[in-house]
Amino acid sequence: MKIGITCYPTYGGSGVVATELGKELAALGHEIHFISYALPRRLSHFVENIYFHEVEISSYPLFEQQLYGLSLTSKMLEVIEYEKLDLIHVHYAIPHAVSAYLAKQVLKKENSDIKIITTLHGTDITLVGLEPSFLPLVKFSIEESDGVTAVSRFLKEKTITNYHINKDIEVIHNFIDSEAYTRNVNENFRNHLAPNGEKILVHTSNFRPVKRVTDAIRVLHKVREQIPTKLLLVGDGPDRSECERLARELDLQKDVIFLGKQDGLVEILSASDIFLMPSQSESFGLSALEGMSCGLPVVSTSVGGLPELIVHNETGFIAEIGDIDRMAKYTVQLLKNDKKYKVFSENSRNRAVNVFEKKLIIPQYINYYEKVMGK
């Protein structure tokens, strides 16, 4: 098949999933055309069967704002026509699904029957799409797509409830390359992070308020009352300054290590003991899955799709939003009991491999493509 993929090319989970999906499809012989305003971060080197088409955004004095949505539509039209695409797979409803719909309407005059598949990732439904000005457009773009997938059962149900959508939505969970994400401890690196043999907690995110990164710091504060522990914070975003302020206020500035945005996640995860995810909203929890694949138990909140990923008291623990005391208690339980920790670590790795491995999930996308194409 010839497949166009549009996603945000940044560090976010939707861009990661879209790019890794494209790479896996290309490895299976499909021809993949990425259409975006920048090269996706995970496309760091040449991959056979993958082509990139940059959306050029015109700068014209009359327009105060850049017209990305319309520029994207124009580029989609060009790629569909000249590359003879079979379908366009867009990740994130706004504006990608809308741009794809416009392209399809233009092409109808040329008797083209390009198929559009929209994958919903989370904030396009639970946050951005609920803005009153966007809600009708999100609902319309979902209903007009030829196929719609969601990364968790939670997100599927949320979409149907929020938008009163009468349409089949296929749940295809996010996936992991368990061969790439496997525990490989660099002792020198771990000793550098924890020179006195401290335990290491880790959290990765985009530091938005919804991620509640400050809760991870408060968990560390409680855990340190019983066990010498460090906290690695990977990523960056609007809440970083507040996190730095809180670490100083709690006198944890030497124990909270801000690593910023990182590509070498496997080494960081492998050097850690427990993954913390105190989010207020999480449609799936891809970063937690990456930790699980590296053998990390996860202590998380009971929100969104996280209960579909984490099995309470088996691969980790689940607590209510903001329950710092309980999350700290669960963390201490694991760090103090080597035997229990080892079982949880093995369970996390096994669940990643046996349920969310890419070799299990990619065929689900291919089957869905064929189903939609068959329509």
pLDDT tens-digit profile of 122-176? 876 765 545 666 788 888 889 999 999 999 999 999 899 888 888 899 999 999 9
Instruction: Identify the burial level of 249 via C-beta atoms within 10 angstroms of its C-beta, where 0-12 means exposed, 13-18 middle and 19 or more buried.
Output: exposed
359 Cβ partners below 8 Å, 6+ apart? none
Q: Which two tokens stand for residue 184?
A: 């490989």
Give the pLDDT of residue 356: 97
> Angle, to 10 degrees, between the axis of helix 338-355 and the axis of helix 286-293?
110
Delimit the domains of the chain by residue range.
2-175+357-374, 187-355
CB 45 within 8 A of CB 58: no
Architecture of the structural domain at 187-355 = 3-Layer(aba) Sandwich (3.40)
Kindly report, residue by residue over 175-216, the tens digit of the pLDDT.
999 999 999 999 999 999 999 999 999 999 999 999 999 999
pTM given for the model: 0.90
Per-residue pLDDT of the chain (375 residues; tens, 9 = 90+): 999 999 988 766 788 899 999 999 999 999 999 999 888 877 878 889 999 999 987 766 655 556 788 889 999 999 999 999 999 999 988 889 999 999 999 988 776 789 999 999 887 676 554 566 678 888 888 999 999 999 999 999 989 988 888 889 999 999 999 999 999 999 999 999 999 999 999 999 999 999 999 999 999 999 999 999 999 999 999 999 999 999 999 999 999 999 998 888 999 999 999 999 999 989 999 999 999 999 999 999 999 999 999 999 999 999 999 999 999 999 999 999 999 999 999 999 999 999 999 999 999 999 999 999 986
Give the pLDDT of residue 64: 56
Give the pLDDT of residue 162: 85
Give the pLDDT of residue 112: 76
**Domains 2-175+357-374 and 187-355 agree in fold:** yes
Give the pLDDT of residue 129: 44
Q: What's the CATH class of domain 2-175+357-374? A: alpha beta
- The pairing of beta strand 199-204 with beta strand 170-171: unpaired
Give the whole-angstrom CA distance, residue 98 versus residue 141.
5
Burial 144-179 (b: 16+ CB within 10 A, else e): bbbbbbbbbebbbebbeeebebeeebbbbbbbbebe
